[in-house]
Amino acid sequence: MRLNTKYLDGLRFWFAMWVVLDHFYAFLGGNNFVSFPYSWTLLNGAVPVDGFIIITGFLMMYHYIQRQTQEPYHYPPTIWKFWMRRLYRLYPLYALAILVAFICNDQLVAAKHDILRFFTGDVITGFNIPYGHYQPDLKNLIANLTFTHGFYSEYAVGFLDPAWSLSLEMQFYFLFPFLYACFFATSSRVRLVALLIPLAVVFALVMPKLFGIYGDPGLFDHFPVPSILLYKFHLFLYGMLLAAVGLGKVKVRYLFASLITILLIEQPLSIVLALVITVFLFLEPLKHKGFIPGFIFQLLAGIRGLFANRFSTFGANISYSLYLIHLILFPVVVSGVIHYTSLSSKIVTALVALGIYLAVCIAMSTILYYTIEKPFIQLGKKRMKAWDQRLDAMHETIYSAPLQFDKPAEK
């Protein structure tokens, strides 16, 4: 089956923009500044992160299956190459953002306090919690640089808020090759997916009760966000199954079973996103089998096309930078607008700040993509190619060398 995946580019960009708008609204004070209907439903930043997780699971599985003829799953270098590709793609910009946020922490916190006081007269964020002076230490910095901060409740959200999800993703990347080998590598093992799905349900239900999530009490230290993989494993698994079903490796019944976990556990908008990603992916087969009438197909195909144009490809390229750096730029841009403009009202100030903020975020994300992300992606490809050439040379030397037989002992 040929899969149309271009729409995922547009979704990745708009998910990143969704997070940016959510944080902009929250750090202006949220409902404490200005309230509008369904604000916390429409600007709930946890929803696009769920979408990112499903897409991550899909893309990892999709490319892993497509490479399996050149890179067999049981070949140890395949695992190392998978990990190294992710590190070359994600780590350089991530390390830079972490270091900048750590070094400039005091200034960024002070600016956020000024912004909140300007718009609300207090330092209560839109998350209805006071924004205190967070002072990271060296252990916190090291934990963030090594992606282990998700295992510490006090570090899960810290001096760079979006970094919590990178710890979650790195846990998934580490386990992914083993998950594939155990559950997806052969047709006989695919049946074990029937065991993996209920396990994901148990994890999703039990883990919040053990550790606490979003302020709910747990038996152990409570985590402000789901920074441990088992919180969101069912979403990663659903993305993996989307790719496996689309490429004919897994029966569709497993996908339906996994979808039920999302319907039972997740919030309504996350369910909608999961369904949108699924329907867009299988739109042509659904029409071919008569599940979607022709006019509905045309409508959905037109909407999907809006997420698959050239701008969407550009947006997908800068989405990672946009996601990582927007809260570093927020206090700089918004405090600048407040101090260097004298506008008629706070609403007008917020709207002007939003326009300038989005323009600066997109411009800076574009610069970072072309100066840091893309060069390191290319470097990673060169390193992987050089590694393949060395391995091929080693194999050729080992298997093409003539056999050496011992000479008979001379009398």
Secondary structure (DSSP) of 127-142: TSSB-------HHHHH
Residue 401 lies in a domain: no
Residue 408 lies in a domain: no
Give pLDDT, residue 405: 44
Give pLDDT, residue 396: 60
User: Would you state the structure tokens that stand for residue 176, as one six-digit string?
Assistant: 């992914």
Residue 171 lies in a domain: yes
Contact (Cβ atoms closer than 8 angstroms) between residue 244 and residue 184: yes
- Domain range holding 59? 7-395
Residue 230 lies in a domain: yes
Contact (Cβ atoms closer than 8 angstroms) between residue 51 and residue 11: yes
How many independent structural domains does the chain possess? Answer: 1
Give pLDDT, residue 310: 87
Residue 404 lies in a domain: no
Residue 59 lies in a domain: yes
Q: Where do the H-state alpha helices sit in 282-309?
A: 283-288, 294-306
Residue 403 lies in a domain: no
> Which residue in the block uniquely carries the two structure tokens 């600066």?
360
Neighbours of 54 (CB within 10 A): 26
| Burial class, 249, CB count within 10 angstroms (exposed 0-12 / middle 13-18 / buried 19+) | middle
Neighbours of 114 (CB within 10 A): 16
- The parts of the chain modelled with pLDDT lower than 50 are 403-407, 411
- The terminus-to-terminus CA distance of the chain in angstroms comes to 70
pTM of the model: 0.91
Residue 400 lies in a domain: no
Give pLDDT, residue 338: 94
Neighbours of 168 (CB within 10 A): 25
Give pLDDT, residue 411: 43
Cα(233)–Cα(168) distance, rounded to whole angstroms?
10
Give pLDDT, residue 403: 44
Cα(223)–Cα(158) distance, rounded to whole angstroms?
12
Cα(162)–Cα(168) distance, rounded to whole angstroms?
11
